[in-house]
Amino acid sequence: MDGESGQAAVEAALTLPLSIFLILATIQFFLLLQARTMTEYAAFRAVRTGSVKHANCEAMTHAAIAALLPTFARTDSPAALGAAFRNHRDNEYTVGHDSGHTGAIVWIVRERPVLGEIRANEEESFDDPARYTSVADVTRLEARLIFWYPMRIPFANWVLGRMFLAHLGLRDYTADNPLMSPQRAQWGSQTAFRLNGLIGQELLDRASRHQYVFPLQANYAMRMMTPPRRRNFARQNCNPTPEGL
């Protein structure tokens, strides 16, 4: 009997980490799917807001953050929603509110228009019917949103963070296998897909600070309802998004 009990204890010790991971990872993957859907909605909200506010980056960023708040902050009451927005309206995670996460919440890349496409008399000619002789003459706001989604499920975020880095070819992981401790992990790139270099570097920088995030991306485009203003394009991308993405 003692031998059987000892064998059962050893088997449980070997399989328990994997069982716990499967449960927690399933929860985390469902949260990622929800965040992916919200990222697409946030891209729409950012572009919709920019289209009626002359492509103003601050307005676009606030619209995106407001749409994404339910994925990482309490929004179950008007008071909680207001507090969450006040804490994040500067587009920064804060240690006191976000489980140790820091850095930008979103990056917004404005693909179009670019400064060179904005006419000097844009305000006067924007609604002039004579201007529109083809589809190319329509002023469109096209943007790509990158949401630095904070993974929040303990243990699952630690394991998945390493798996994502290895899978994307950013960092091999060959330390002790966190799911089966007597083994060595051989996690390396399994895909030809590569993140943009600036996004990959940001992901690595956050991982080095033990912050487990995943960059979710979505695009949206629509006709501008107001003329873009040149002063809003001193930078092509919305701060703090790096140029060149």
Q: What DSSP letter does each residue of 35-84 carry, written as one string?
A: HHHHHHHHHHHHHHHHHHTTT-HHHHHHHHHHHHGGGTS--SSHHHHHHH
Residue 171's pLDDT is 81
Every domain of the chain and the residues it spans: 2-233
With bands split at pLDDT 50, 70 and 90, how would you rate the model's confidence at 34? very high
Residue 133's pLDDT is 64
With bands split at pLDDT 50, 70 and 90, how would you rate the model's confidence at 43? very high
With bands split at pLDDT 50, 70 and 90, how would you rate the model's confidence at 31? very high
Residue 182's pLDDT is 65
- Distance between CA atoms of 242 and 56, rounded to whole angstroms? 17
By the 10 Å C-beta count (0-12 exposed, 13-18 middle, 19+ buried), 128 is classed as exposed
- CA angle (115 as vertex; 109, 116 as ends), nearest 5: 130
- Distance between CA atoms of 197 and 209, rounded to whole angstroms? 19
Residue 132's pLDDT is 67
Residue 30's pLDDT is 93
Averaged confidence pLDDT in the chain: 86
Q: Which two tokens stand for residue 59?
A: 């307005």
| Prediction pTM value | 0.86
Q: Quick: pLDDT tens for 46-98.
A: 999 999 999 999 999 999 999 999 999 999 999 999 999 999 999 999 877 77
Determine contact, residues 103/211, Cβ cutoff 8 Å: yes
Determine contact, residues 147/216, Cβ cutoff 8 Å: yes
Q: Find the mean pLDDT for residues 214-236.
A: 93
Give the residue, 91 or 4, on which the prediction is more confident.
91
- Does the pLDDT of residue 166 top 90, yes or no? no
Strand partners, 148: 215
